[in-house]
Amino acid sequence: MDLTSHRTPQGRLSLQTIAMPADTNWNGDIFGGWLLSQMDLAGSVCARQRSLGRVATVAIDSMAFLTPVRVGDVISCYSYVVRSGRSSMLIAIEVWETSDRQQPERILTEGRFTYVAIDEQGHPRALPTDIPLTGEAVISGKSG
């Protein structure tokens, strides 16, 4: 039984792209590092929206490759703020394959990344307090 078949993407669509032949490893599968970089970009989009400015990735807290990505797959990265601190944000990122509209979307990868809001000199800065985009507010598309 496929435990992911009942799931749907959580969060907002932050990035969408196509896995290309240049993104493969020596076995002909999509290279995990390529997928990791797409997730980091998607998480950065979410973190920038929450922080209203520059961010830096400081940690990959968890990551699981659930299903292989194939050449030609359209991948869609969804993300949302799990929690935020004074300057840091934990962002959940899910990657779904969405190229075949005849088939249900399937989850490929999921992870949690930590970002820190930074100023123009690259130093940590406080997050705006008037934008509480976390958890369900982001998943449902409501802001505030």
- Give the integer Cα–Cα distance in Å for 33 and 40: 10
- Give the integer Cα–Cα distance in Å for 59 and 63: 11
Could you report the average pLDDT of every consecutive run of 10 residues in the chain (144 residues)?
68 96 90 96 97 96 93 95 96 91 88 97 93 51 42
Burial 106-130 (b: 16+ CB within 10 A, else e): bbbbbbbbbbbbbeeeeeebebeee
pLDDT at res. 51 = 95
pLDDT at res. 135 = 52
The answer to whether the beta carbons of residues 122 and 56 sit under 8 Å apart is yes
Instruction: Domains for the chain: give ranges and CATH numbers.
Output: 12-140 (3.10.129.10)
Residue for token pair 């997730």: 39
